[in-house]
Amino acid sequence: MNAAGGGEPVPIGSLASLAHAHESTIGAVRDDSPTPGDDRNLSWELETSHFPAPLTRWAATLYVTEETRVIKELCRDYGLMIDGVEMKEFHGRVYSALVPIGGKARKPPPSFLVPLLCKVVPPLRRRIANARRAEAADAYTEVVERWLGGQEQAMLEEGHELIDRPLDGATEAEVADALEAASDLAVRGTRQHFLLHGTGVDTIGRLGLRLDRAGWSTAEVTELFTGLSDTSTGPARAQAEIVERVRATPAGLDALASARTLDEVAAISAEVATAVTSYLDTWGRRAVRYEVVEATVAERPEWVLGLLQDQAADGGRRPAAGGAADDEQRRRGAAERAEAALGGGADARRLVERAQRAFPIREGNETATVGVPVAALRRIGLVVGARLAASGALERTEDVFDLELAEVIALLRGTAGAPAEPAALARRRREARLAAGRARVPATLGPPAAGPPDLAGFPADIAEGVAATIWYTDKIFGDRTEAPSSPDGGLCGVGVSPGVYEGTARVVLDESGFDRIEAGDVLVCSITSPVWSMVFPSLGALVCDAGGPLSHPAIIAREFGIPAVVGAGTATAVLDDGAQVRVDGRAGTVSVL
């Protein structure tokens, strides 16, 4: 049985070009041997962008088991021409593979057979019907309007209620109820996260593909969305407000510069205290990555303190350097040119408007769909862990995350499935997880990924949808054919935010390095996520190993108006921390001075 509801597997080729996972573990090797426990001939790639370290069991349940299931369901329901993107743990690390319809990678059939297969093979026929049904119903527009019409706010409120829920005097059953509610929210958030990504394919991907065919560059396409990612710049604006209130207080800047804790900053004035509290309530109660064992922003006040001190000392880098009015003017001009390039008329205008309406969700959804749900799950997990540690059932509070969620709930409810020796079991899993994080693992498993699919023979509307997906995915994960060559032998990548900047390279491999960033640094990292936007007011420029023009780092860099190069491949390995570098965000080059 497959995701389309039965029938024989369809022998069509893998659409592996839809999943460009960029390996940032320098020195990792390819392993072409058969993948243990998997005989589907899939190409597995180490997933370091979202999972830079081995996962706890809670995170694995959400982002390996549930994420795989959710993506498979969405591909079926919305008629995508793949069975999904599967996550799986090998060597203690998360790998991902694109799964073709039928579940197994096979040699593509001759193009002249494809029209017949589309008509006679039940799973493929149903998938095409679902795609056309979604298009006819304008299903993705409905998804966007539901999200912007209150669904996002409702999910945020649900997460904040779980974070704030009083549990000190709660019974074990009440704590178990809260844990199940947080787990359910996180699963629903995962589904919504990927459904909203589907809106990007349908709106931004289709528009970008047509403009690409009309001769537009990627830089011209991104002008259509200048200044729209206001959620990305939200933390920076809130930090700037705190600094302005400090500045308005006599001797406030001196007090901020000498503060050793965030509480000392809040004590500068009542107005500053209000701004700090608002910042932590809005932006602090979210996870920094897809992992419950990692502390939230609010649990690391030293980050916020350092960023405020940098922003005050440096004058603060404002998002969208030209201001909202300038951004709107640039978008309007780009929209007029885009409509003309597409032939004008209502259809062209609708394509542009749909893409601009959906674009902010590309970045903005993550707080509600991932950050707050994971933070809620962590908060309740810490309550459970503290109780189990106090009773001797665990050695330490955070060991609760190395038990399965089902095992923890069984312990709380006293039902079947509770481990006999939870402390020893959690310790063994924790030790194995930490050991896996120190091990060198292959960058890939199984055969090499197939190239782009041959769309000849597919119905025109289906081929258009697949081509739009490929365009969109290339722009997020990076299309190395766009990378320029560096004339001086330095690093080269894709320039995604123009400008030239010289400064100190600060190599930061994950969020634990935020407190090492100083005002004016050039951030050198593997990739960023939306939570990294809090450090951008301190940056002079950005260099990433991975990413494309629509990736998280590219979007945030443009919003802040700082030069940025992504897709640089080995920047975190070859650039020394503290080196003086020059970043050219238009040419896409990085030079060591």
The predicted structure's pLDDT at residue 19: 34
What pLDDT band is residue 234 in, cutting at 50, 70 and 90? confident
What residues pair up with 102 in beta bridges, in sequence order?
A: none
By mean pLDDT, which of 200-209, 235-244, 321-330, 501-510 is the weakest? 321-330
What pLDDT band is residue 2 in, cutting at 50, 70 and 90? very low
The predicted structure's pLDDT at residue 102: 85
What pLDDT band is residue 323 in, cutting at 50, 70 and 90? low
Rounded to the nearest 10°, the torsion over CA 247, 250, 256, 261 is -130
The predicted structure's pLDDT at residue 224: 95
The predicted structure's pLDDT at residue 191: 94
Taking residues 284-307, report their average pLDDT. 92
Furthest C-alpha separation in the chain: 78
The answer, yes or no, to whether residue 147 has pLDDT greater than 90, is yes
Q: Computed over its alpha carbons, how large is the radius of gyration of the chain?
A: 24
Q: Which residue has the higher pLDDT, 2 or 543?
A: 543
CATH number attached to the domain at 480-592: 3.50.30.10
By mean pLDDT, which of 30-44, 157-171, 252-266, 443-457 is the weakest? 30-44
What residues pair up with 86 in beta bridges, in sequence order?
A: 97
The predicted structure's pLDDT at residue 488: 63
Of 222, 527, 203, 565, the residue nearest 361 (C-alpha)? 203
Q: Which residue has the higher pLDDT, 234 or 89?
A: 89
**Sign of the torsion angle spanned by Cα atoms 469, 472, 476, 478:** positive
What pLDDT band is residue 29 in, cutting at 50, 70 and 90? very low
User: What are the boundaries of each domain within the chain?
Assistant: 1-195+362-477, 230-314, 480-592
The predicted structure's pLDDT at residue 112: 87
The vertex-262 CA angle with 252 and 312, nearest 5°, equals: 45
Q: What is the pLDDT of residues 449-495, one digit of tens each?
A: 877 777 888 899 999 999 999 899 889 887 654 445 555 667 999 99
Region of 591 please: left (phi>0), alpha (psi -120 to 50) or beta: beta
Q: Which residue has the higher pLDDT, 455 or 53?
A: 53
Q: What is the pLDDT of residues 158-217, one digit of tens each?
A: 999 999 999 999 999 999 999 999 999 999 999 999 999 889 989 999 999 999 999 999
Q: Indicate the length of the chain as a whole number.
A: 593
> What's the CA gap between 351 and 345, in Å, rounded?
10
The H helix count followed by the E strand count for the chain is 23, 13
Q: 12 with 106: CB under 8 angstroms?
A: yes
Tokens of 495: 């320039």
> What's the CA gap between 588 and 569, in Å, rounded?
12
**Residue 149 CB neighbours (<10 A):** 9
pTM beyond 0.75: the answer is yes
What residues pair up with 93 in beta bridges, in sequence order?
A: 90
The answer, yes or no, to whether residue 381 has pLDDT greater than 60, is yes
Taking residues 320-338, report their average pLDDT. 82
267 contacts: CB under 8 Å, gap ≥ 6: 273
Tokens of 92: 């203690």
The predicted structure's pLDDT at residue 12: 33
